[in-house]
Structure 1
Amino acid sequence: MSQGRQASRIGMGRWNRIMVIVLGIVLVSCAGPAASAFWGSVSSGFGAVKADSVAPGAKPGTSVTGSTVTVTWTASTTAAGRSVTGYSIARYSSATGGTRVAAIGTCQGTVAGLSCVEANVPAGTWYYTVTPMLSLWQGVESLRSTGTAPVTDTTPPNAPVVTSPASVNAALADKVPVSGTAEANSSVTLTVTGTGGQPMSQTIAVDNAGNWTAAPVDVRNFADGTITYSAKATDAAGNTGVAGTATSSKDATAPTVTNIQLVNGGAAGKIDKNDSVTITFSESLKASTICNAWTSNTVTQTIGGNGQVTVNVSAGNVLTVTSSSCTLNLGSLALSSGYAGSAMSFGGNGSNASSVTWNPGAGVKTLTLTLGGATGTANTSVGAAAATLTAASTLTDIAGNPLNPASFTSASPGGF
């Protein structure tokens, strides 16, 4: 009898275990694939079949590039520590409630990894979720991500407006100011090119009013000539437009005096009416630095007429010039020969008037002083000799480079 009862108990235990399994299958079948609990063997012996469950999904993170959203999350396991086999990714159009939309791209179906990418996401704000999966079972859907707004703008921004100085001299070459306007909140990539140096680029944020200012540009590595500033704007959607450009004329080379010539127009060996001084420069000067009334840097200009120009020669033979019609900034010319017996003044009216003429023409670039009627005593039979110009510090070329050196002595003797 004892053996029969023992056999009966063993049979009953097997029957109970089978019933548990059957009941588990029935429960899972009734709950369907969405059930997070399932039954499985976790040990030997009676009671080895027990319920396990898939843990809830981890709240995902998102990042956006244009209309593409990358979703990332951390791994999930079952309550018993088993690894899940994949994840189901979805999105909603609101932080709570709403309709579940299955993600597409590499986020479609069951994703084995811990990240995926959904491209061409429709416009709007989307909240992503992750649901862990284990075979036919799935865990609880995760909390929703923070709102994710893909950018569906495909229109490139207009060309930026670029503002730069018309000319760049030596004093400005290491800090050229460049600025402009572009689409608000875009970014501008500025590229600077010129002869003899490598292009330089920098990226600048455009403010919400559409203004941008580059860091000061150093163009010293470029040769004198045209410097080009090219700027392209890229909007928040990643669209890059066509370039806007501006140019500067770089001249970082200081002008020089190349020759001083004393020309006789009256009695030889004597300083008198119609004598002249011609000063030649290496390049055109800015006309207003010679006479503040001159506004053109390209045409020949003259001051003359009744009492407008006075050429003075001191008893020490230093020649200076003044004008009643503008401020002349020529400096002084030391005559090595003793032309003046006493202080002299050359002014006059009409045909006796002194004059100053600036000729910026190609191959010329000369400043000529012509003497008019004189007062004072002139010496005679004065031999040719060198003359030394000490130029005014305000004389510059068109780019603003001052004369260097400011003092120049004629290489060969000359005389009135």
Structure 2
Amino acid sequence: MLTPLVFCWMFVGAASFNLLTEESITAVLGRNVSLPCSFSVPVLAVYWYKHEFSGAPDDDAILIASDYMGFTDPIPGFERFRIGDDYRLVINDVLLLDETTYSCIVVPHHFDNQRGYTDLRVIALANPQVPIISSCETTEPGRCSFIIEEDEEGVTLDCNIYNARPPANVTWTSSDGSVKNNTEQQIYEKDGVFNISSQLWVSINEIGEDFVCVATGESVNGTSTLVVTVKYLPEIGLSSGSTAWIATSLLFLVIIAVLTIVYILRKRKRQDQLADLEDELLPLVAPKQGMQQLTETDILDVTHETNLDHGQLRNLLTELHIEAADMLTEKDRNTRASDLKLKAFHVLCVWRKTEGINATRGTLRNALHKCGYIEALGILDERWGLNSQDNEQNVICSKIGSQISRKVCGRLV
């Protein structure tokens, strides 16, 4: 807020110089402000002083900034204060404690020193700048709705302005602009700023009307308003369309829940069936006896049975540290017509170590057939049929195949 300049005149003979300062300046808390000090003659130095309080004598003033022939070193403890362009005093991040009188001393070349004074006033803008009513739902900028229960006979509206300096004036009016007299205003100070509250009682006969909370003053940049409509809580009803949508949604959820339960029960039943089959098959694939060591003749017969050539089998058995590998001295030899199915699978599962772990129904049937587990093979075909196949069957086949590999192949797998 600017006021007319105060002119300090000094006459020396026929010559004089002018010192101009402003009588009063208003600053906003937290912002920057500058205090002018101008003159019409060259000067040696300019000094700015802060007085202990507004109107305090010069003897109590403290030097806060100086410019001597162009040198403007900051004064310790007053770093927020500096001399700017045209020798004006600049104050950064204004505090409430900065509110006082400041004086500018000018030292000219050929005239006596002159001193000008400026009173600094600090205000704080309300935060926010608009009135606030707790529990009032904003419907549009500057307007809100206050909802009350149907059985309430009235309500007290509490309109607030926060962190203002000086305190704003808060009043209530009707929508036609007439002032409401049934109000009460309270002001609370904290750390130099003020919270202002104004209460209005709205009777049952005024429900549905608009009321305006009006805040005025520097701290709200003039005038700030909030229009409030008091309403009863609306009854919650459902249209026929909404009812149909809710019913359809509930029916859909019920169907999903039933299908989920059916799926879970069927899956559990299937898992129980597979577990029963596994319990029946595994005892039937107990390790055979007489497989501790292969003879030379057995190895050649196995080669023929599994379609492994002589070199492949010898390399395999050597890698697995099987003593029978040393007996493979000839590539071909007559085979005897004995049942070597178990020995064939023995070598086969050694050669293809993952055969049992990755078994499908087909590989499991082949394994059971090669090993002579005819009873287990019959149970498998009876339960699933000759061509039946699915993922769950593959899982159980893998388990049984893995068991066969461990039991039949022993330490070689």
Q: Check whether TM > 0.5.
A: no
> Which has the greater radius of gyration?
2
Q: What is the TM-score when the length of structure 2 is the normalising length?
A: 0.28
Q: What is the TM-score when the length of structure 1 is the normalising length?
A: 0.28
More helix by share: 2
